[in-house]
Amino acid sequence: MDILQGMITGFAVCLEPTKLLACFFGVLVGTAMGVLPGIGPAGAVALLIPLTFHMDAASAVIMIAGIYYGTQYGGSTTSILVNIPGEAASVITCLDGYQMTQQGRAGAALGISAFASFIAGTVGIVGLMLLAPPLAEFALRFGPPEIFALVFLAFTLVAFLSSGSMTRSLMMVVLGLLLATVGQEAITAIPRFTFGSVDLQSGLDLVPLIMGLFGISEVLLSLENMRHGEGALTVRPTPRFWDLLPDRRDWKRSAGPIGRGSLLGFLIGLLPGGTGIIASFGSYAIEKRISRHPEQFGQGAIEGVAGPEAANNGAAQGAFIPLLTLGIPGNAVMALTLGALKIHGIVPGPFLIKEHPGVFWGVVASMYVGNILLLALNLPLIGIWVRLLKIPKSILYPLIIFFCIIGTYSVSNSVFDVGALFVFGFMGYLLRRLNFDLAPLILGFILGPILETSARQSLIMSEGSFGIFIGSTIAAVLLGLSAVVLGTAVYSELRKGRLSRGLETLKREMEASQDKP
Amino acid sequence: MYLRKSHQLVVGLIVFAVVSSVLTGGVVRAEYPEKPITLIVPWPPGGASDVTPRSLLKTMSEELKQPVVIVNRPGAAGVVGTLEMERAAPDGYTIGTYSYSQTLTNFTAPNPPSLANVVPVAKVMYSPATLTVNASFPAKTLAEFISYAKANPGKVRSSNSGKGASAHIFGEAFDRMTGIKQTHVPFNGYAPAITAVAGGHIEATCIPVGDVHPMVKAGKMRILAVAMQERHYLYPNVPTMKELGVNLDTGNWVGFIAPKGVPEAIVAKLDRAIEKALKSPEVVSAWKEMGNVTTYLNHKDFAKWLVPHAAETRALVEAMGLLAAPKK
């Protein structure tokens, strides 16, 4: 009954005209920032947070929340249309989303991504409303060893990420890990690969990496294609609006991925350090693993869009739970939200619901409103986005470069990062010309430091005993799962005969070399 | 003759103007500031070191009749933004925030900033270090904590915000004062370090009051003592370390600084705007919840305070063996 009463309070708060406006403005700006390559949720919120200081606390958080889940909606748009993720969590959406566009199915991809976001958002809000306090307790049980085990499990999923050769994927993971080692490491503060540069001391930033590897390299690749007189996208004549949307078959294929993605995203969003990107990669890997036609992944499988897009939106809602109920900011955006609340003299924690019911329930209720607004906003936009593809590349690509630069610069107002953007751009171009898949690189780059730090923290905590990794049930279960995942991957490789064939070749070669005198 | 006299007057005036402007270190226009002022915050937005100055901006901007705009330049534990501020034109249009952590980097960083390159504008707040434990930790008092730690050397783990960062220094200083030996576990900033204690993965931390406050309020952690001279207003029942015979008086502070060479008149004007902002009712009430202790020092007193403070900090860093090797 408390919840019902709370929700009534909440809707009364969030339907006030000023709050409604804050919500609408938040989701509108969030979508726009998400669509623009380079500006992700953290950048968008950081840019707009000064606006919230003149509002009351509830409006401020309603707006920030709107910006946050709005960017998750918008982030997939450019992934699908031009193969450039609008923000980090949408990297994986490029794989199948862009393939769908090339098959003339951009509308269906955008449509399913909007619906998936809406459904996952709603699942997340219901979870937030009903289960916030117990779930927050669960999140607290993740200490360094548990985080290590979770990230280890995420790494094993690489096995299912790539459509091509496993060796090449692993090479990219390792490259990502190497890039992530640049900078002062977290345990002993020793600078690695900084060559005396202050800018490198805090390491390479994710935004120039993603925007360079995906954005700039995409432009370079198409330049090359244009020179050879190819590469013009085949856009079918603009069909009627309803024909753009996903059809019944798409829905049938997407229902499962959306459901699983929503749940997975929500759970991962809860955890400290859990972000949209782990959720979306995880969802993609799971869908590919359990799919009856895994070979279609990477070739335009709609499941590869629906699942991850649901997952990153679920994560966006889940992340609010530890913040609002315990005052723990799980990621950069939540840290910003915490700051905004503090400026208004509100310290989030278990007392928030009692002391500031208007803020807590107002924010939860506004998420329902915001999600509906986003769906209403995004569906009609699909027609416009699809038409965007008709913009001549001579205009579109300079614009993309422009937005990549602005987005990169806005992260920490750094010219160095803009330089890094172009270096990564050329690197991405070379790697893609050599047919390397870049998604595993991003995974390695993001997860590597978490894995290293949590492993070393755990070992400091246990005074060097490795027992700590199986000392807690959560860590033991997660590591057990990793073993199962690795085991099945090896087994299926064996069954395909690749491994045994490989071994035989090796054996033959060795025998041949032994035969030589 | 008459003409020459008027010439003399003009020449005299010019000489006077040039000499006086040289003496005051630049022409101070009555209308400073005539354009927006950039405030470099060398931390990401959202944390206490960002929220604290941010909460002052509204009143400061009204006082100066020009917007004061924060530019966050995080990186290398505050070094990136601090160096950028040091190198900015000394015209009063680029100023920055300074803190205990930045003072530490003067002595710990491989590319250190230097207090010699800045002029203090005002010190605004203080948040004392604590000894905070997980709620279910057996020790209920500081004395019990110390005897527990002595009985189990190395078994009490203390979370901090990175090697050589503020919370690590607090923790090591506490160890030195009490003769105990904790295992110091570094995390990437305050938030994860606090979460680890709240979740029971780590026993204790020395992170300041304002930052542990939400978790303490939530009943996940307990403050055993605060490291300041008098009791903290948020926790009137929690003793100070001094009361308990541990003479530790340390914590985070935040102040404003400008690049060296900014004329004193401008520094004074900024200082007055900051002082005014500290008194605004919105700031007073917001800071109360944040656990910030207002410790205003004007630019002159801040400069006087900073010299021995930096020397003490250096000595502590050196004693802990964290002093950065001098650059060739």
Distance of CA A369 to the CA centre of its chain: 23
**Of residues A50, A189, A460, nearest to B185 (C-beta):** A460
Q: Is B290 on the interface with A (CB under 8 A)?
A: yes
Mean pLDDT of chain B: 86
The DSSP H or E segment spanning B254 is: strand B251-259
Q: Are B154 and B183 in contact (CB under 8 A)?
A: yes
The rounded distance, in Å, linking the Cα atoms of B221 and B212 is 8
List the alpha helices (DSSP H) in A93-247: 93-102, 106-140, 144-156, 158-161, 166-180, 198-201, 206-210, 217-227, 241-244
For residue A395, the distance in angstroms to the closest alpha carbon of chain B comes to 31
Query: Which residues of chain A are within 8 Å of residue B38 when distances are taken between CB atoms?
Result: none
The yes/no answer to whether this complex scores an ipTM above 0.85 is: no
CB contact under 8 A, B187 and A457: yes
Q: In angstroms, what separates the C-alpha of B177 from chain A's closest C-alpha? A: 23
Q: What pLDDT score does B328 carry?
A: 44
Question: What tokens does B119 get?
Answer: 């002029």
Residue A467: pLDDT above 60?
A: yes
Q: Which residues of chain A lie closer than 8 angstroms to B157, CB-CB?
A: 460-461
> Does residue A88 have a pLDDT over 50?
yes
Give me the pLDDT at residue A331, please.
Answer: 75
What is the tens place of the pLDDT at every residue in A106-159?
888 999 999 999 999 999 998 888 887 777 778 888 889 998 998 888 888 776
Interface of B with A in 213-242 (CB under 8 A): 213-215, 217-220
Where are the domain boundaries for CATH 3.40.190.150 in chain B?
A: 37-126+252-319
Q: A188 and B76: CB-CB below 8 Å?
A: no
Residue A240 has pLDDT above 50, yes or no: yes
From chain A, the residues in CB contact with B202 under 8 A are: 143, 461
Please report the number of interchain residue pairs, chain A to chain B, with beta-carbon separation below 8 angstroms: 159
Q: Alpha helix (H) ranges present in chain B?
A: 2-23, 48-54, 57-64, 79-87, 100-108, 142-151, 166-178, 190-198, 209-217, 264-279, 281-290, 299-319
What's the token pair of residue B89? 């034109």
pLDDT bucket at B14, cuts 50 / 70 / 90: low
Tell me which residues of chain B, numbers 8 to 27, contact chain A at a CB-CB cutoff of 8 Å. Answer: none
CB < 8 Å from A in window 194-213 of B:
194-196, 198-202, 213
Distance from the Cα of B191 to chain A's closest Cα (Å) equals 7
Residue A78's pLDDT band, with cuts at 50, 70 and 90, is confident
Q: How far is A55 from chain B (nearest CA, A)?
A: 13
Amino acid A233: pLDDT: 53
Domain boundaries, chain A: 2-471
Chain position carrying tokens 């400008």: B258
- Tell me, rounded to whole angstroms, the distance of Cα B73 from its chain centroid: 16
Most confident of A324-333, A403-412, A466-475, B72-81: A466-475
Distance from CA of A355 to the nearest CA of B (A): 12
- The strand pairing partners of B185, in sequence order, are B159
Span A344-364, mean pLDDT? Answer: 82
Distance from CA of A27 to the nearest CA of B (A): 21
User: Could you give the CA distance from residue A68 to residue A333 in angstroms, rounded to a whole number?
Assistant: 7
Q: Are B324 and B107 in contact (CB under 8 A)?
A: yes
Of B185, B200, B286, the CB nearest to A345: B286
**Which among B57, B199, B289 has the least Cβ separation from residue A342?**
B289
Q: What percent of chain A has pLDDT over 90?
A: 22
Q: CA of B196 to nearest chain A CA: how many angstroms apart?
A: 6
Give domain B37-126+252-319's CATH architecture: 3-Layer(aba) Sandwich (3.40)
Which of these CATH numbers, 1.10.10.10, 3.40.640.10, 3.20.20.150, 3.40.190.10, describes B130-226?
A: 3.40.190.10
Mean pLDDT of B284-311: 90
Mark which residues 154-193 of B lie under 8 Å from A by CB.
Answer: 154, 157, 162-165, 183-188, 191-192
Contact A96, A298 (CB under 8 A): yes
pLDDT of A230 higher than 60: no
B-proximal residues of A, 251-310, CB under 8 Å: 272-273
Residues 220-259 of A with CB under 8 A from B: none
Confidence of residue B326 (pLDDT cuts 50, 70, 90): low
Structure tokens at B257: 């600084």
Model confidence at A206: pLDDT above 60: yes
Question: Among B79, B199, B290, whose Cβ lies nearest the Cβ of A143?
Answer: B199
Helix%, strand%, coil% for chain A, nearest 5: 75, 0, 20
Residue A347 phi, psi dihedral angles, 5° rounding = -105, 110
CB nearest to A199's CB, from B54, B80, B200: B80
**B1 pLDDT exceeds 50?**
no
Share of chain B above pLDDT 70, in %: 89
Asked whether the CA dihedral A319, A323, A326, A328 is positive or negative, the reply is positive
The pLDDT assigned to A499 comes to 59
What confidence tens digit (pLDDT) does each residue in A30-40 have? 888 888 776 77
pLDDT greater than 50 at residue A495: yes
Give the pLDDT of residue B26.
47
Mean pLDDT of the B310-316 span: 91
Measuring CA to CA, which residue among B101, B247, B55 is closest to residue A340?
B55
Q: Is there a contact between A417 and A408 (Cβ–Cβ < 8 Å)?
A: yes
State whether residue A135 sits within 8 Å of chain B by CB.
no
Structure tokens at A20: 């409604």
Residue in A with minimal Cα distance to B83: A198
> How many angstroms away from the CA of B256 is the closest CA of chain A?
19
- Range A236-245 average pLDDT: 62
Chain A CB contacts of B111 below 8 Å: 196, 198, 201
DSSP-assigned letters across all residues of A6-35: HHHHHHHHHTSHHHHHHHHHHHHHHHHHHH
Lowest mean pLDDT among A223-237, A466-480, B93-107: A223-237
Max CA separation in chain B (angstroms)? 96
Which contiguous run of DSSP H or E holds residue B33?
none
Lowest mean pLDDT among A218-227, A434-443, A446-455, A497-506: A497-506
| Radius of gyration of the CA atoms of chain A, in A | 23
Please report the pLDDT score of residue A517 as a whole number.
46
Name the token pair of A122. 């709603």
Contact A343 B186 (CB under 8 A): no
Mean pLDDT (whole number) for A401-416: 84
| Tens-digit pLDDT profile for residues B256-289 | 999 999 999 999 999 999 999 999 998 898 888 8
Encoded amino acid at A270, one letter: L
Contact A347 B80 (CB under 8 A): no
Residue pLDDT, tens place only, B134-160: 999 999 999 999 999 999 988 899 999
Mutation site for A-interface testing, chosen from B54, B73, B101, B201 by largest number of A Cβ within 10 Å: B201
Contacts of residue A305, defined as CB under 8 A and 6 or more positions apart, other chains included, come to A76, A80, A93, A96, A97, A100, A109, A112, A113, A116
Nearest to B49 by CA among B75, B86, B92, B78: B78
Query: Is the peptide bond preceding residue A272 cis, with omega within 30 degrees of 0?
Result: no
